[in-house]
Amino acid sequence: MGDDMFRNVKNEAQRFVDKWAEEHRYQIQDVKFTMYLWRRSRLSLVGSGIVVALIVVSLLAPHLPLYDPFELNVQNRLLPPSWEHLCGTDQLGRDILTRMINGSRISLMIGAMVVTIASLIGLVLGLVSGYFGRKIDEAIMRLTDMFFAFPRLVLAMAVAAALGPGINNTMLAIAVVSWPIYARLARAGALQVKNEIYVEAAKSIGAGHMRTLFLHILPMILHLIIVQATLDMGGVILEAAGLSFIGLGAQPPSPEWGLMVSEGRHYIHMNWWVSTLPGVAIVITALGFNLLGDGLRDIFDVRTRR
Amino acid sequence: MVLVLFGVLVITFLLSHVVPADPIGAILGPQAPLEMVEKIRHEWGFDRPLYEQFVDYVWRVLHGDLGKSIRTNRAVTRDLMNYFPATIELATFSTFLAIVMGIPLGIISAMKKDKIPDHFARVFAISGISIPVYWLELVMLIVFYYQLGLLPGPGRLDPYMTYPPRVTGLLLIDSLLAGRLDAFVNALQHLIIPSFVLGMFGAASIARMTRSSMLEILRKEYVRTAKAKGLRERVVIIRHILRNALIPTVTVIGVTYGGLLEGSILTETILAWNGLGQYATGSFLYLDFMAVMGVTIFIAVIYSLTNLFVDILYAYLDPRIRYG
C-alpha cells in the first residue's frame, strides 16, 4: 500500500519531469551545447577555476587562520617570505598574505558593484534608446559618443579627485565611465530584436512597452551583457587598483591591492616582496576574469555555434 | 567631434566646480583666515555665478588660454607644452613596439588556430590587458636594474648626464640634433622598460584584432581560389590575406595610441618620467583644478584627433568605405 503510493508519486514526478523536458527540449539542448563548448575551451576552464577559487577565498577570509590585517608589529617589519609569513611582512610588520586575502574582498566587491551599477544604467538607457528610437535615441547615443571620445581612466581620475578619495567614490567614478558600452550593446540588441514577429505578436495581444521591453526583448540580449560584464570585471578591478595606486582610491590602512603595491614601492631596492606580491594578486584576478570573459564570448558567439 | 569636445568641456567644468572638494582649502590649510580665503576666491572668480564662470572659461579656452595652475604658478598651456613631449616620445615608441609584437602574434595565432602557438599567443594577449602596467614596471626595475644592473633606473637620462639643448623636447631627436650620441643611447636605454610594458599592453588588442580579422578573411572564397591555383602559402598570406586583414588592425592601432597616452599616467609615476602623466597625477592629487581641466581637455582633444585620423585613414585604405 505505502509502496504503491510511493511508486505512484514517483511515476507522477517522473512523468512531470519528462513532460517538462519534452516541452523545453530545445532549451535543454542549448544548455547542453553551451556546457560542451565551455568544457572544450581550456582557457575559459582555467578562468572559471581562478574566479571560483577567488570567490571562495574571499568569502572564507574571516574564518581562515590568518593574522590580523591591521595589527602593527614593528619588530617584524620587512621580513622576507618564510613559513611563518608566506609572503613576508610589510613596512609596518603586517602579514602580507593576510592583507592580500582580505584585499580580495575589497577588489571583488568593487568589481561586482561597479559592473552591476554600470550594466543596469547602460541596459535601461540602451533598451529605451533602441526601442523608442528617434529623439531619445539620438540624445542617448550622443551622450555615449561623448564618453567614448574621452579616455576612461582620465575621466575616472577626474571624478575620483573631485569626489575625494575613498572606496565608495572610486566605485562611483568607475561606474560613471563604464556604463556607455552596455548602453551600446543593449541598443544594438534591442534594434535587432524589436521587429521580430514574436515581439509584434506580444504587442498585438496587448503587452505594454514595459512588458515588451523587459520580458520579451531583455532576455534575448542578456547574454551579451553578461559576457561584457565578465570581461569588465577584470578591467574594473585593474582600474580601481590603479586609482588606489596613484592615491585617488582606497586610503591607508586599507589592504587594497593597488595601495599595497604603491606603499611597498619605496622598499623595492632591498625588499622586493612588499610591492610585487600584492601585484600578483591583481594579475591573477584580472587574468581569471579576462580568460573567463574571453571564453564566454566565444561560447555565445553565433559564429562558433553554427 | 566639436559637439563631443564641447560636451567634454561641460563635464570637466562641472566636475571641477560643482564638487565637494575645496581646492582653496586644500592649498591654504584649514587654519587660513576667512578674509584670505574670500580674497583668493574673488581673485580666481569662484564667487561669481556658475554660468558666468563657464562662459568665461569657454571663451578663454577658445583663445588657447587654459588658465593658470595653482600648483606650479604657470600657465597651464606652458606646463602642457613642457611635459607633453616626454609622453609623446614614450607613447610613440611604445606603439611601435606594440605593432612589432602584436601583428606577428595575431598572424601566428590565426594560422595555427586552436593549436599550441594560438593558445600561447592568446594567453600573451590576455596577460597584456590583465597585468597592471605599474606593477610590471616595478618587477622589471627590480630584475633588470636592481638585481642584474642591465638597464638604467628611473628617469629619462642618467642623473650625471646633462640634457641636450631643448629643441623639440623629444630627447631622442634633440640629442641627435646636438650630436650627443651618448645621450641618445642613454635615452634609448631608459625607454626600454616603460615602452616594453606599455607596448605589451597595446600589443594585446592589436594581436586580438589581427587574429579575428584574419580568421574572417581566411574563410573567404578568393583565398581558397588563390590557394587552389597553386600560389605559395607565403604569397597568399602576404598579398591576399594580410592586405585586407590589416585594415581593422589600423583602427586598433589608432585607438591604442590614445590608450597609451592614458596608460602613461600610471607608468610615469614609478619611473619618474616627467611627462604629462606625472603632471596630471600631481594636479589631481593637489586639486589644482585649472590644470586638471586643462590636462583632461588636452588629452580628450588628442584622443579625438587620433580617432579622426584613423577614420580618414580607414576610408583611404578600404575603398569600400566612403562616408557620405
Give yes or no for residue A300 having a pLDDT over 80.
Answer: no
A149, A163, A287: residue with CB nearest B8: A149
A159, A163, A290: residue with CB nearest B126: A290
Rounded Cα gap, residues A95 and A87, in angstroms: 7
**Burial class of residue B53, CB neighbours in 10 A (0-12, 13-18, 19+):** middle
**Peptide bond preceding B33: is omega within 30 degrees of 0, i.e. cis?**
no
| Cα distances (Å, whole numbers) of residue B287 to A157, B37, B70, B207, B284 | 11, 16, 9, 38, 5
Contact assignment for A279 to B132 by CB distance below 8 Å: yes
Rounded Cα gap, residues B172 and B162, in angstroms: 14
- Cell numbers describing residue A299: 561560447
Rounded Cα gap, residues B10 and A299, in angstroms: 41
Give pLDDT tens digits along chain B (324 positions).
Answer: 677 777 777 877 777 776 655 666 666 666 667 777 777 767 666 667 777 777 877 887 777 777 787 777 788 888 888 888 888 888 888 999 999 999 888 888 888 877 888 888 888 888 888 898 889 988 888 888 888 888 887 778 777 777 777 777 777 778 778 777 788 888 888 888 888 988 988 888 888 888 888 888 888 888 888 888 888 878 887 777 887 778 888 888 887 887 787 777 888 877 778 888 888 888 888 777 788 888 888 888 888 888 788 888 877 777 776 654
Average pLDDT, chain A: 85
Contact B224, B124 (CB under 8 A): no
User: Tell me, what's the pLDDT at A56?
Assistant: 93
Indicate the DSSP class of residue A165: S
What is the pTM for the complete model shown?
A: 0.83
pLDDT for A102-142, tens place per residue?
Answer: 889 999 999 999 999 999 999 999 988 888 878 888 888 88
Type of residue found at A302: V
The residue extents of the domains of chain B are 2-62, 84-317
Contacts of B218 (CB under 8 A, 6+ apart): B110, B241
Which of these ranges, A75-89, A163-177, B10-24, has the smallest mean pLDDT?
A: B10-24
Q: How many beta carbons lie within 10 A of that of residue B242, not counting itself?
A: 18
Q: Which residues of B touch A290 (CB under 8 A)?
A: 126, 129-130
User: Tell me, what's the pLDDT at B23?
Assistant: 62
Nearest CA in chain B to A150: B300
Give yes or no for residue A253 having a pLDDT over 60.
Answer: yes
Contact assignment for B21 to A43 by CB distance below 8 Å: no
- Cell numbers describing residue A63: 574564518
User: Tell me, what's the pLDDT at B324?
Assistant: 46
Contact A279, A257 (CB under 8 A): yes
Give yes or no for residue A13 having a pLDDT over 80.
Answer: yes
Contact assignment for A268 to B20 by CB distance below 8 Å: no
pLDDT for B190-203, tens place per residue?
Answer: 888 888 988 988 88
Contact B79, B69 (CB under 8 A): yes
A145, A155, A279: residue with CB nearest B4: A145
User: Tell me, what's the pLDDT at A111?
Assistant: 93
Type of residue found at B152: P
Q: How many beta carbons lie within 10 A of that of residue A220, not counting itself?
A: 16
Higher per-residue confidence, B45 vs A304: B45
Average pLDDT on A265-278 reads: 85
Helix, strand, or coil (residue B68) = strand
Q: Which residues of B touch A142 (CB under 8 A)?
A: 3-4, 7
Rounded Cα gap, residues A122 and A184, in angstroms: 8
User: Tell me, what's the pLDDT at A288?
Assistant: 93
User: Tell me, what's the pLDDT at B219?
Assistant: 81
Indicate the DSSP class of residue B75: B
Contact A150, B8 (CB under 8 A): yes
Nearest CA in chain A to B135: A279
Contact B167, B177 (CB under 8 A): yes
Contact assignment for A145 to B15 by CB distance below 8 Å: no
Instruction: Please spell the DSSP secondary structure of A21-57, one letter per residue.
Output: HHHTHHHHHHHHHHHHHHHH-HHHHHHHHHHHHHHHH
Rounded Cα gap, residues B117 and B155, in angstroms: 36
Give domain A41-305's CATH number out of 3.40.1050.10, 1.10.3720.10, 3.40.50.720, 1.10.10.10: 1.10.3720.10
User: Tell me, what's the pLDDT at B44?
Assistant: 66
Rounded Cα gap, residues B241 and B141, in angstroms: 40
Superfamily in which the B84-317 domain is placed by CATH: MetI-like (1.10.3720.10)
Residues 178-217 of chain B whose Cβ lies under 8 A from any Cβ of chain A: none
- Cell numbers describing residue B154: 628611473
Backbone angles phi, psi at B68, to 5 degrees: -115, 135
Strand partners, B75: B68
Rounded Cα gap, residues A8 and A14, in angstroms: 10
Nearest CA in chain B to A292: B126
Contacts of B12 (CB under 8 A, 6+ apart): A158, B292, B293, B296, B297
Q: How many helices (H) and strands (E) does chain A have?
A: 13, 0
- Cell numbers describing residue B205: 588588442
User: Tell me, what's the pLDDT at A3?
Assistant: 72
Give yes or no for residue A25 having a pLDDT over 90.
Answer: no
- R_g of chain B computed on alpha carbons: 24
Contacts of A260 (CB under 8 A, 6+ apart): A90, A96, A99, A100, A103, A274, A275, A278
Indicate the DSSP class of residue B211: H
User: Tell me, what's the pLDDT at A286?
Assistant: 93
User: Tell me, what's the pLDDT at B24?
Assistant: 64
> The dihedral of CA B257, B263, B268, B274: what is its sign?
positive
- By residue count, chain A amounts to 306
Rounded Cα gap, residues A233 and A110, in angstroms: 9
Contact A230, A293 (CB under 8 A): yes
Please state the three-class secondary structure of chain A as a single string.
Answer: CHHHHHHHHHHHHHHHHHHHHHHCHHHHHHHHHHHHHHHHCHHHHHHHHHHHHHHHHHHHHHHCCCCCCCCCCHHHCCCCCCCCCCCCECCCCCEHHHHHHHHHHHHHHHHHHHHHHHHHHHHHHHHHHHHHCHHHHHHHHHHHHHHHCCCHHHHHHHHHHHHCCCHHHHHHHHHHHHHHHHHHHHHHHHHHHCCCHHHHHHHHCCCCHHHHHHHHHHHHHHHHHHHHHHHHHHHHHHHHHHHHHCCCCCCCCCCCHHHHHHHHHHHCCCCCHHHHHHHHHHHHHHHHHHHHHHHHHHHHCHHHHC
The residue extents of the domains of chain A are 41-305
